[in-house]
Amino acid sequence: MVRFFTAPHDISAHSIVLSAEDSDHIRSLRLRPDELFTVCDGEGNDYICRLGKLDADTTAEIVRREKSSGEPSIECRVFLAYSKGDRLDYAVQKSVELGAFEIVLFESGRCISVPRDIPKKTARLQRIALETAKQCGRGIIPVVSSGGKLDNVVAAAKHSALPIFCYEAEDNLSLKEVLERFFPASRKPNEDEIKSVSIFTGPEGGFEQAEVELARANSFHIVSLGPRILRSESAPVVALSAFMYHTGNLE
């Protein structure tokens, strides 16, 4: 079913005012009046609709409202180091598909490429997040933002219920061990279990040792993602997939 997002203030008791962009999209799809589509308020609520009038102020007539089924039971904030080319595009897209709640970009010592125009880069990635959220049935549009230098984002994320720092040279603690420790027995979290995590992954050259020690000093769990060295765009996908599977959000 075709999916659109709108602001809550555009939703009334029986209808929804659609944006000019969504109106153009509906025209291009040639939706018939009896065809249903979904409009989401970005707060986890889906409105199943049929087309009302299609003009300057296109409206969707609400058929029913239901809770979005695409939101996981655990909030995962993904912190991505800047990387070159389209690697960030891929990492953002797949993170949204897998259920990331928020995506924060940061600069670390071994970043090969940092955008000259960070607001422009962030806006482009936010657009990717929007289109991906539409495609995969999310109930929210994950926010993509820039957190600045690594020390800034570490200071912000240390207050997370479970801050995770993925490091390719770690040989004492694995992500699997952390998952089993904090999410024991049942994969589905209960009311007493952790409901949010922060996941850090590094750039093409990995993290510097001083950066790892900074995270350790801020009570992060330094973990390995296995015996193979993962690419910068693969590491967040692997870590997020593991969290979602272990917490019952890929069933």
231 and 164 belong to one structural domain: yes
Tokens coding 29: 């799809």
Nearest to 243 by CA among 145, 79, 99, 96: 99
pTM (whole model) above 0.85: yes
62 and 85 belong to one structural domain: no
116 and 177 belong to one structural domain: yes
Number of C-beta neighbours around residue 115 at 10 A = 17
21 and 137 belong to one structural domain: no
In angstroms, the CA 183 to CA 249 distance is 13
87 and 41 belong to one structural domain: no
Domain boundary among 67, 91, 118: 67
46 and 101 belong to one structural domain: no
Asked if residue 45 belongs to a domain, the reply is yes
48 and 130 belong to one structural domain: no
Cα separation values, 139 from 68, 71, 77, Å: 5, 6, 16
Asked if residue 166 belongs to a domain, the reply is yes
Asked if residue 26 belongs to a domain, the reply is yes
Residue-number span of the structural domain to which 211 is assigned = 75-246
Asked if residue 251 belongs to a domain, the reply is no
φ/ψ (deg, to 5) at 114 = -120, 130
41-60 residues labelled b (16+ CB within 10 A) or e (exposed): bbeeebbebebbeeeeebbb
27 and 102 belong to one structural domain: no
The number of folded domains in the chain is 2
User: Any idea what the CATH number is for the domain that residue 28 is in?
Assistant: 2.40.240.20
Asked if residue 58 belongs to a domain, the reply is yes
Domain boundary among 27, 50, 67: 67
Asked if residue 210 belongs to a domain, the reply is yes
pLDDT in tens, the chain (251 residues): 899 999 999 999 999 998 888 888 888 888 887 789 999 999 999 999 998 777 667 888 999 999 999 999 999 999 999 999 899 999 999 999 999 999 999 999 999 999 999 999 999 999 999 999 999 999 999 999 999 999 999 999 998 999 999 999 999 999 999 999 998 765 554 545 678 899 999 999 999 999 999 999 999 999 999 999 999 999 999 999 999 999 889 88
